[in-house]
Structure 1
Amino acid sequence: MGVYVARIARRFPRATAMVCLLLAAFVAWRAFRAWVGVPALGPTAGYSTPVYDRTGLRLRDLPSRTGTRGQAVPLSQVSPRFLLSIQVSEDRHFRAHDGVDRGALLRALGQNLLHRRRVSGASTLTQQLVKNLDGATQRRTIGQKLWEMAAAQNLEAAHSKDEILESYVNHLGFGHGLVGIDAAARGYFGVPPASLSWGEAAFLAVLPRAPSRLDPYRHPERVRSRQRVLLRQLHAEGLLGPAELEAALGEPLTIHPLSAPPRRGRFVAAALHARPGPKAASSTVHLTLDASLQADAQAELAEMLLVLRPSHASGVAAVVVDNATSEVLAWASASEAEASHVDLVLARHSPGSLLKPFVYGLAFQQGLSADALLVDAPMAIGGRDGTYAPQNFDGTSRGLVPARSALAESLNLPVLRLAQELTLGRVAWFLERVGLPPMTPSREGLPLVLGSASVSLAELAVAYGTLARGGIYAPLRFEVQAPRSWERRMSSRAAAQVTSVLADARLRLPLLHGALDVPFSVALKTGTSAGFHDAWAVLYTPQRTVAVWVGNPSGAPMAPGSTGGRLAVPIA
């Protein structure tokens, strides 16, 4: 056998050399392909983050860090019209080649040599996908082109044509930050990719080749011209009948106005900030929000701004929490200062009397009876800034009053004496335990109990949720999959005593001016900061906690008499 081969080699030296060269090239190419490896058909960094409410309703898509938007969809959810259009536009022989179109490659090479410049390319659809997967812009060197060809062949060997096509249409850039056919169909035409007409499909199929030069907003006629050419190519290929061609050429296309990517949103920002780990958005965000309740709350607050104008209030916020899960169901705010980016649910203000129930809760926990008599009489307290002489809201004093009545009527003098007995340090410690922010008794002094420290609506919802759960603390949960954290921080007896007082409709009736009339038992506490800067109301049942704030985002005072009972309770 070896002698026979040797004879052939001596007789046909050139042919033998050519065969050896081809064999060497084949082996080298196989080794090169093995070195290049198979690109992973993973998600693109340009995909956005879909946001869903608690029922699975898709609320919005958050842009990626690069500002692009898009979501991968299976091939079954893409119109066959677009799939045919993109293949005819970009790679007519996609179903036939192995990742490299040798005929197109030879043709392009000949044309480029003839004109001594690059006049045409031969990249297949698979090679374009390799570029997108690699994050490259344009590969121009011979080495880069060879790497691309090898990776494309490896991709074809490892995946089916449909898998490659699916990844390709999901990685395509269509301009204006739209990545993938789903984002393009919805962004330009407002329809899902499965519903694209022939005219729309061909229109979109020509965009990826030159998204800037074929900008639908700046150069619509350029795009229509390319679209018509592609439609006629589809007809010539037998993929589009005469009637369909005529209809597609005459189809009026309405491009949706270019809209900015949706902002993250205040609740989503709060949800991501609350995550114990990395703050970046994940592939999906499942919020605890109830979209219907959220929309109703937002609309109600917007309407209330008009009602609140005579009271010189320009901002209002509300939060609704499911006490059984500590999940936030609604997180809404409205302000006449449209340019304001402050989240009024998180903004801190003076809580007025809203801290008083927790002072009583601590006292009840340490053995005080709700029927114990407390002193309601004038007092004077010395301090570095002079004598502090607090008064009740109405300027009167009642002598001895039961603790139950002192809490229900929100009297200042008894709770101040109670805080002195408990010590301010212990009061501040207890306030933090139930969910309120850290406070500094040495700086705030005794007025801390009456609202000299600042708290947010969200923090108050946590604290009153502790009461609603019978003394069990739980931080707010913004995402359905967020971990639960429960801890008893108040005795059930003390929480029940506070709730019993706050739910006594007879005791609170004189304070609310008839603002609350519901057919079920509800615990309620209002708060009004000094100078009428803030008006609050927190209502809770075993099922829900609702907290409302009214005021001015600027901190300006409202009209005299703007109390929590008058302004905030009707909203709650």
Structure 2
Amino acid sequence: MQEPPTTATPPSGPPAGDGEPPRPSRRRPRVKKLRLLLIFTGLSALALVSTVFGMMMAVASDLPQLENRAEYQRAKNSIVYSDGDEPTKLARLTGNENRILLAEEQISPNLTNALIAIEDRRFYEHEGVDYRGIARALFQDILARRAAQGGSTITQQFVKNALAAQAERTVFQKLREAALAYHLERQWTKQKILTQYLNSVYFGNGAYGVEAAVRTYFGDGSEVVVDPYTGELVEVPEDPATSGDEAAAATVSPAEAALLAGMIASPSLYDPVQNPKTSRARRDLVLQRMYEQEMITRAEYEEGVREDLPGPDDIQPPQPHSNEPYFTTWLTQQLVDRFGAGAVFGGGLEVTTTLNPELQDAAEAAISSRLGAIGPSASLVAIENRTGEVKAMVGGPDYAERPFNLATQGHRQPGSSFKPFILIRALADGVSPDATFTSEPKQFPVPGSRTEKFVVNNYEDSYSGIASLWSATTNSDNAVYAELGLKVGTKRVARLAHRMGVKTEISTNPAMTLGGLTEGLTPLELAYAYSTIANRGVRVSGSLASSENGPVAIESVKGGGRDIVNEARKERVFSDAVGDTTQRMLELVVASGTGTSAQIGEFAAGKTGTTENYGDAWFVGFNKEITVAVWVGYPDELRPMETEYLGGPVAGGTYPAEIWRDVLLAWIGIRDRIRAERAARQAARENPGTSTDTYVPATPSTPTDGGDVPVDDGDGAAAEPAPDTGGDTGGGSQPAEPTPAPTPAPTPAPEPTPAPTPAPAPTPAPAPAPGGGGGAAAPE
């Protein structure tokens, strides 16, 4: 509110000087305002100091409790349960049994230096709260217009971990933590704070504390074996704090220390196996900070950035207390990301998951019965269409022997199982499934090159001359799909795949039209993306999903003051009309194409995938209720499977389709039994004293959500003009599709397995990383 104008009254008496009256004074009101401002500022400062002092005194009594919890905490285990009316116990999550507490002298200076360099460079200068750091972080946040930089010190982070605080805290909680940090630094030495922090922090892959982390990521020659689910330690690791042995954490190199220190901020984001690019960049950043702060020499820095990251076979996580370790390990990281390690491993949570024990057992049995113990491995993910929930996951044959999860971490070339993304993009652009294309050897120019050509051939130079999109899909015609993919645009295909559920970055070179990607896809990604097709264009996720717009593994979380239930979230990616047509076209693949071994006696649709030299084989498909992706191959290398299927090659229509069929038949049995039991209970309620001996289940409907809408690429691409897709009958309107052939009776004799086409040139498949694969698609 503005102060009203002041009018000065001239004093009475004779005029001064030359007879003019004196001018009114303007200084007194300004002095008054300044005085009020100073008084207000002083009172505000006094109030702030009083508040801070009062808070300091109020939290001082918490310090003994904080120290006890940090060093002698008796955490309450969290329990993980399966899905179902009578859930079974899947796992017990505990941090203390696998955590080994170290003394100050047992931790390498490289570790403490790396931690300080990346998390709190003024650690030895502040007293628990770094006001300069807070100001710097606030300034960076303002420039970036987001929370770009944190301002908490190592001491504050330790307090947060010791209190098992949630990721989302109130302002008062943060102030309380800051006050506790200030008090703690007056009672503990800096070195003790560093030691306790490193003993309590979570490094991912089940590694709680720095000693467990060093053993997990770099090994120490010993092995900790826990009997699955009983939790009995078969062999207890030596505790270097009491045995006198040298701790593994005492001998880490600067590069190893930098990797671990960099992972603290986000163990999943900087996981060296799951995200090697971001992990290496983060490690190198820590090494650079260490060099800039004169903690290492130039030679140590250069040597460190040249060191390889630990690979899938190098990582030896503590054996989880679980009878489904692949699933629960994947789930545990989601819980840690959402609730914090302290709450997960010591907060007594009760977690109900989406895993169906019966289907999980059936999936494991299908793989072992088809493949046995010798030869290629298999991975599998099953997702319920209606909910987006993961119902089964097989990450490998033996977690104790190889904890690398092929289902979530195994990026392999998808081959022709990538073609439905091109198909949907084309149908959404108005290309008719009746449109015809020439099926013949083709060459396409490579963008950015004047001489190189992208050469595409079909298997054994077998071409149909003129092929409709129906037949090209049924027979997996490379020549047609390469042309179609390039005309609709590889970048637009990649954007569509991401909106359908693929998380991995997709290369957009010409080879991607045949599934030749720079980095392959995982069974989890393909199963989730195909479930969008099963839902007629609707991607289903949830509030407790594994990632933003990802599949769901958690149904509910209770305990520790929490009672959270997953809520379904749906987004339309393409129209139901496009979804219906895609389903019919993929149904023909199972009915009369390359996937006949997947027939189950009712509606089934899917796509086979086989890469160059039979290095990877896929079948991804769905019925009305569930989508399943199956991969078969050698996990450690791109090894041709030329004789592993009854003396012949392993293609998508062989082992993968057969395993898929076994799992779907098991699901149908579970589904029909549950329906019959529910019908019997309903009949008993309506007619007491009677029973229902026979029950014919109704056919479930596929969820519909929304109308006939264009595909949105996620960047306004829905509004862009679709490129000319050619074809003899062109694009534009869609004539009525021919009625697909009826689904034959189940258990047909498998068709002869074709061999793959040579890899298209000049875009060679990338050299596979551990757990990855290379090669382009081949007709199955």
Query: 1:302 deviation in Å?
Result: 2.6
Equivalent residue, structure 1, for 2:552: 477
Equivalent residue, structure 1, for 2:338: 277
Q: Sort the Cα spacing of 1:332 and 1:36 in 2 relative to 1 into closer, same or farther, 3 A.
A: closer
Q: For the Cα contact (< 8 Å) 1:302–1:334, is it kept in 2?
A: no
Aligned pairs for 1:361-372 (under 5 A) are 361-372=424-435
Q: Sort the Cα spacing of 1:426 and 1:51 in 2 relative to 1 into closer, same or farther, 3 A.
A: same
Equivalent residue, structure 1, for 2:710: none
Equivalent residue, structure 1, for 2:659: 571
What is the CA–CA distance in structure 2 between the aligned matches of 1:396 and 1:187, rounded to whole Å?
57
1:533 aligns with 2:596: no
Letter in 2 for 1:417: E
Equivalent residue, structure 1, for 2:377: 315
Query: 1:416 deviation in Å?
Result: 1.2
Q: Sort the Cα spacing of 1:485 and 1:45 in 2 relative to 1 into closer, same or farther, 3 A.
A: farther
What is the CA–CA distance in structure 2 between the aligned matches of 1:499 and 1:390, rounded to whole Å?
27
What is the CA–CA distance in structure 2 between the aligned matches of 1:340 and 1:547, rounded to whole Å?
21
TM-score (norm 2): 0.41
Letter in 1 for 2:383: V
1:447 aligns with 2:531: no
TM-score (norm 1): 0.55
Instruction: Decide which of 646, 650, 674 is 1:562's aligned counterpart.
Output: 650
Query: 1:335 deviation in Å?
Result: 3.5
Deviations 1:451-488 (A, max 9, x none): 11110000001110000001011321001133433211
Aligned pairs for 1:297-316 (under 5 A) are 297-306=363-372, 309=374, 313-316=375-378
Equivalent residue, structure 2, for 1:522: 604
Query: 1:44 deviation in Å?
Result: 6.1
Q: Sort the Cα spacing of 1:48 and 1:552 in 2 relative to 1 into closer, same or farther, 3 A.
A: same
SS in 1 for 2:443: coil
1:390 aligns with 2:456: yes
SS in 2 for 1:504: helix
Query: 1:36 deviation in Å?
Result: 11
Equivalent residue, structure 2, for 1:198: none
What is the CA–CA distance in structure 1 between the aligned matches of 2:585 and 2:613, rounded to whole Å?
27
Equivalent residue, structure 2, for 1:459: 525
Q: Sort the Cα spacing of 1:495 and 1:36 in 2 relative to 1 into closer, same or farther, 3 A.
A: closer
1:553 aligns with 2:635: yes
Q: Sort the Cα spacing of 1:376 and 1:46 in 2 relative to 1 into closer, same or farther, 3 A.
A: same
> Structure 1 stretch 337-346 or stretch 47-56: which is displaced more?
337-346
Query: 1:364 deviation in Å?
Result: 0.7
What is the CA–CA distance in structure 1 between the aligned matches of 2:657 and 2:390, rounded to whole Å?
20
Query: 1:563 deviation in Å?
Result: 0.4
> Structure 1 stretch 268-277 or stretch 424-433: which is displaced more?
268-277
SS in 2 for 1:353: helix
Give ranges in structure 1 of 5+ residues lacking alignment: 1-34, 69-133, 135-185, 189-211, 213-258
Q: Sort the Cα spacing of 1:389 and 1:279 in 2 relative to 1 into closer, same or farther, 3 A.
A: farther
What is the CA–CA distance in structure 2 between the aligned matches of 1:48 and 1:402, rounded to whole Å?
59
Q: Sort the Cα spacing of 1:519 and 1:279 in 2 relative to 1 into closer, same or farther, 3 A.
A: farther
Equivalent residue, structure 2, for 1:121: none
Q: Sort the Cα spacing of 1:543 and 1:412 in 2 relative to 1 into closer, same or farther, 3 A.
A: same
What is the CA–CA distance in structure 2 between the aligned matches of 1:379 and 1:452, rounded to whole Å?
17
Instruction: Decide which of 80, 86, 89 is 1:58's aligned counterpart.
Output: 89
Query: 1:509 deviation in Å?
Result: 2.4
Equivalent residue, structure 1, for 2:480: 414
SS in 1 for 2:406: coil
1:286 aligns with 2:348: no
Letter in 1 for 2:429: Q
Equivalent residue, structure 1, for 2:327: 267
Q: Sort the Cα spacing of 1:417 and 1:296 in 2 relative to 1 into closer, same or farther, 3 A.
A: same
Equivalent residue, structure 1, for 2:420: 357
Query: 1:358 deviation in Å?
Result: 1.5
Query: 1:448 deviation in Å?
Result: 0.6
What is the CA–CA distance in structure 1 between the aligned matches of 2:467 and 2:658, rounded to whole Å?
29
Q: Let me know the Cα RMSD of the aligned residues.
A: 3.4
Letter in 1 for 2:321: P
Equivalent residue, structure 2, for 1:495: 579
Letter in 2 for 1:484: A
Q: Sort the Cα spacing of 1:261 and 1:552 in 2 relative to 1 into closer, same or farther, 3 A.
A: closer
Deviations 1:511-568 (A, max 9, x none): 34x5233210101211001121110001201211111110000123232221010121
What is the CA–CA distance in structure 1 between the aligned matches of 2:83 and 2:231, rounded to whole Å?
25
Instruction: Decide which of 490, 501, 511 is 2:594's aligned counterpart.
Output: 511
Q: For the Cα contact (< 8 Å) 1:314–1:336, is it kept in 2?
A: no
Deviations 1:26-70 (A, max 9, x none): xxxxxxxxx999999x996422211110122112212234548xx
What is the CA–CA distance in structure 1 between the aligned matches of 2:64 and 2:403, rounded to whole Å?
47
Query: 1:437 deviation in Å?
Result: 3.1
Q: For the Cα contact (< 8 Å) 1:298–1:334, is it kept in 2?
A: no
Aligned pairs for 1:215-254 (under 5 A) are none
